[in-house]
Structure 1
Amino acid sequence: MPLPRPVLLRSRRPADPTAGWWAYVLPLALMLASDYKLRSRDVDQAVGGSADLTVLLEIAVYGAAALYLVRRFGLRPPRRKITGLLTAAWVWAGYAALSALWSPFKALGLVRGTQLLVTMLVAHAVATRATPADLRRLAHAFVAIVLASVAVGVAHPFPRTKHTEARFNWLYVHPVIGGVYLGIAVLLVIGYLIRWTAPAQRQWRVPVYLGALAVLAGALLATQTRGAALGAVVGVLVLLCTARGPKGRVDVAVVGAAVGTLGALAFAGTIVAFVARGEDAQKLASLNSRTELWSLALKAYAESPVYGRGLGASRGLFLADIGLGGGHNAFINALVDQGALGVAAFGVLLLTLSIVLLFLVRHRTLRADAGMLLGILAFFVTDGITTEGLAAPANVSGIWLFLLVAWTETLRRQGGDPLPADAVTTTGDAGAEPPPSAALPPPAQVGDQPQHA
């Protein structure tokens, strides 16, 4: 009589590698301290260097983040050769912070410059020590925070100014900043929702992602932030075209054309009303007075074209003339504050980040994350046409720019699936998908990954 075969017990799936809680808690803490306020004050008070309890708490959070990293990892030089992308990020952050020394608003410039360096320090630690699993936790925690913020905004609306009475926000977060949070969250949710071939990377069930997407998209439209809404549309298109490879591009061409046509026919009046936002033709033509501001900004740039007027200068130079603070355009803001040198450093950073992500998209195992990051970058560049956050320190856009750099570096250290030799010789397409039987590289050890130059 044959003996029964023994039953093999499936071992538990090993936990995702992690660098520690700091890799996702510290970046989120910097964002919340920078943007989430329980009071509102005029721009001229910030430019004047006055500090209240909220400002002191924000500075304390940045200081605590820097002290934690120094205490844990020290200030020793990096053991690995840093990449060109990290070098570009440090050059931009370093020069922008240095420009605070010749800013007309020195107190503001020095504080913001220090915050910028702390943000880059956190991003560098994440880039060299964290894992993609850490960044997935950060992404889902970010979405959860934004969903909770929407609930707060619905349950307890805070007093609003005459310019934001009909626009959704929460706490004293301006609708423009709220639109950035919502736009990033929308792209993150879509980025994980479409991962049909990698469901293990999802941390929630599909119905949860769908419900979150509906809430976030509705809140984004309710903010009436046109730049963030347009940025989200562009970001979603880029994400879908890259995160799923050639199949994604076909889906966008077919489905996008059909949905776009039906949407334009069915909701033409709603779209026009959203774009107009009750403003007259003169205001729309001037992009809500932005073109007037940009004319003043170019005059200010002409006074110091090479080195710029200094970090924080754009926050106060135009208050007396037009009543607006900041450049309301990322590149113009950098042009005024850091001059031609600063714009060159800023442009090199964005270009290097884009090129590296485009190379990572060619790897099957990295394509989902890299395409999602490209979508978020496209969102920021589009939104940066009407807001300066991407080129300014201590705000969600500027912090996420460095997070994109850090996330990209974790993907590079992880490495992608090697392409089979026969796939290259027969098709000649380096971006072709390897067969399922292709061997996977062994998982890298946390904190001791080789760094590519």
Structure 2
Amino acid sequence: MTVKGLFPRRRPPAPTAGWWAYALPLALMLASDYKLRSREVDQSVGGSADLTVLLEIGIYGAAALYLAYRFGLRLPTRRTTGLLFAAWAWAGYAALSSLWSPYKSLGVVRAGELLITVLVAHMVATRARPEDLRRLAHAFIAIVLASVAIGAAHPFPRTSHTESRFNWLYVHPVIAGVYLGIAVLLTVGYLIRWTTPRDRLWHPIVYVGVLGLLSAALIATQTRGAALGCAIGLVVLLSTARGPRGRIDVLVLGAAVSALGALAFSDKILAFVSRGETAEKLASLNSRTDLWALAMKAYAESPIFGRGLGASRGLFLEDIGLGGGHNAFINALVDNGAVGAGIFAALLLTLAFVLLLLARDRALRQDAGMLLGILAFFLADGMTTEGLATQANVSAVWLFILVAWAETLRRRGRELQALSAGSAAAPQVERHPQHA
């Protein structure tokens, strides 16, 4: 089989918004998470900036300047959708809360990065096409695959807590698990497209090989939240992307895999879950329950508007030695209060509702089902990590990508309806030429 056969081009490329629609979101992710050095949490909340931080800020600024240069700074003229409004409302309120954050330098920087992220997503949502997001997804898979190769070829120094866990560069295994979980879901999402193979950019054999490598790397990170989230995301993806037939597949395959795992790999599964930790540490979810008790006390001190953007990164360092809420929803409560957490929940619910509506359309079902799987992954992973409710990380950027992708699918659905209506009206025009 030739290389050309592995990466087929079955049709000319569809008109797209251009390289920026997939390059800018990827640049924001890499600038936020891929580091060539490691810093303690107290250094980041203290407001100190080194060359790496300045580079990250510069990349975000360059993205904003490029969009301003290409599209101008005029206000949008189209009526916005409820989903885009919810995205802007969450970003706007979170950015506003930086004004009363105890760590103003960190809060202001993160507020700017958050607003730039939602600006990029808004431009993608209003100008890109599903084909652009398809390229973004495959580029993301390729980047994660290259990252796995880097991690295997040159392991960087690790802390005592991550010594036995796989990662790359100075990306924490928890963040690496998020990258790998998303990449696994994207790979499966394109692999199962038997009825629309034109959506694939690679040969099915390539997807199978990539899936095996990414799955092995995800297990090697020993990130339990990401592994559980990926499993839940796969169930949601397979149940929705292929309609009723997919739900039967999930039932049959799920029963078979569960039985096989229980019989043949029970020891390895238990070792993965326990990760060599004591029963006391497992019961406290690696001190997370203690952290959450402190977080709720901090929330009680400012329950309406929250402690301010970035507050949770430093509030618990002195008491427990951990930064961040280690739970997306608790983190939103501490930083943004009941108002911000309500807006955050409204965004997630609106996104889920829109994707469920899109999944009812057979032409859009596979993309919508894949996005629902990724959203389910984030909700499950968000039980033990705060990334979804924070800023400048892969989870936060992908949340807004999901919003933008959903909007491009809605626009594609309207186009297909218009084409269908036009083809249905064409015979009537032929029968009544006087109306031409």
Which TM bucket (shorter chain)?
over 0.9
Tell me what 2:372 maps to. Answer: 374
Show the counterpart of 2:36.
38
1:231/1:380 contact within 8 Å kept: yes
8 A contact 1:363–1:416 mirrored in 2: no
- Cα separation, 2, equivalents of 1:365 and 1:397: 27
How far residue 329 of structure 1 moved from its aligned partner, in angstroms, is: 0.1
| Post-superposition offset of 1:441 | 7.5
Q: Tell me how far apart the structure 2 counterparts of residues 95 and 215 of structure 1 sit (CA, whole Å).
A: 40
Q: What amino acid sits opposite 1:323 in the alignment?
A: G
- Structure 1 residue aligned with 2:206, among 205, 208, 218? 208
The Cα shift of 1:77 comes to 1.5
Tell me how far apart the structure 2 counterparts of residues 120 and 417 of structure 1 sit (CA, whole Å): 25
1:5-44 correspondence to structure 2 within 5 Å: 13-44=11-42
- Could you tell me whether the CA contact under 8 Å between 1:417 and 1:441 is conserved in 2? no
User: Where does residue 6 of structure 2 map in the other structure?
Assistant: none
Matched, 1:394 2:392: yes
C-alpha deviation, 1:439, in angstroms: 4.9
Instruction: Using the TM superposition, give the Cα deviation of residue 418 of structure 1 relative to its aligned residue in structure 2, in angstroms.
Output: 7.1
| AA at the equivalent of 1:353 | L
Question: Letter of the aligned partner of 1:383 in structure 2?
Answer: D
Q: 1:46-104 deviations in whole A, cap 9, x for unaligned?
A: 00000000000000000000000011111112121110000000000000000000000
* Distance 1:441-1:403 versus aligned 2 partners, 3 A rule: farther
What amino acid maps onto 1:185 in structure 2?
A
- Equivalent in the alignment of 1:47: 45
Task: Quote the Cα distance in structure 2 between the aligned partners of 1:13 and 1:338.
Answer: 48
Secondary structure (helix, strand or coil) at the match of 1:326 reads coil
Partners of 1:78 and 1:413 in 2: CA distance: 17
Aligned to 1:340: 338
Find the counterpart in structure 1 of residue 75 from structure 2.
Answer: 77
Identity among equivalent positions (%) equals 74
Question: Structure 1's 56 and 302: CA in aligned 2 closer, same or farther, altered over 3 A?
Answer: same
How far apart are the structure 1 equivalents of 2:180 and 2:307? 32
The aligned amino acid for 2:399 is L
Give the TM-score of the pair, scaled to structure 1: 0.90
Q: Take 1:107 and 1:35, find their aligned partners in 2: how far apart are those partners?
A: 19
CA contact (8 A) 1:35 1:395 kept: yes
Partner of 1:228: 226
Q: Following the alignment from structure 1 to structure 2, what is the Cα–Cα distance between the partners of residues 167 and 107? A: 32
Partner Cα separation in structure 1 for residue 286 and residue 257 of structure 2 = 30
Q: Give the one of 79, 85, 105 matched to 1:87.
A: 85
Give the aligned residue type for 1:214: G
Are 1:155 and 2:153 counterparts? yes
Q: Distance in 2 between matches of 1:204 and 1:15?
A: 14
Q: Residue deviations 1:166-204, cap 9 Å, x none?
A: 000000000000000000000000000000000000000
How many angstroms does 1:17 deviate by?
1.6
How many Å apart are 1:311 and its aligned residue?
0.2
In structure 2, C-alpha distance between the alignment counterparts of 1:407 and 1:151, rounded to whole Å: 29
Deviations 1:283-306, CA, capped at 9 Å, x for gaps: 000000000000000000000000
Aligned residues: 413
Q: Is the Cα contact below 8 Å between 1:366 and 1:416 reproduced in 2?
A: no
What CA distance in whole angstroms lies between the structure 1 residues aligned with 2:158 and 2:422? 54
How far does residue 261 in structure 1 lie from its aligned partner after superposition?
1.3
CA distance in 1, matches of 2:228, 2:243: 23
Amino acid paired to 2:222: Q
Moved over 4 A (4+): 416-419, 438-442
Provide TM-score, normalisation by structure 2: 0.93
**Structure 1 pair 414–296 and aligned structure 2 pair: CA distance change class (3 A):** same
Partner letter of residue 88 of structure 1? Answer: A
Q: Which amino acid aligns with 1:342?
A: G
Deviation of the 1:14 alpha carbon: 3.6
Q: Which structure carries more helix by proportion?
A: 2
Question: Residue 276 of structure 2 aligns with which residue?
Answer: 278
Deviations 1:1-27 (A, max 9, x none): xxxxxxxxxxx9442120010000000
What's the secondary structure of 1:200's corresponding residue?
helix
**What is the one-letter code of the residue matched to 2:261?**
G
Q: 1:268-417 alignment to 2 at 5 Å?
A: 268-415=266-413
- What residue is the counterpart of 1:68 in the other structure? 66
**Aligned match for 2:215, one of 206, 214, 217:** 217
Name the CA distance, whole Å, in 2 between partners of 1:208 and 1:380: 26
Q: What secondary structure does 1:415 align onto?
A: helix
CA distance in 2, matches of 1:142, 1:13: 22
CA distance, structure 2, for counterparts of residue 364 and residue 64 of structure 1: 39
Q: Please give the alpha-carbon distance, in whole angstroms, between the structure 2 residues aligned to 1:346 and 1:270.
A: 37
Give secondary structure in 2 for the equivalent of 1:255: helix
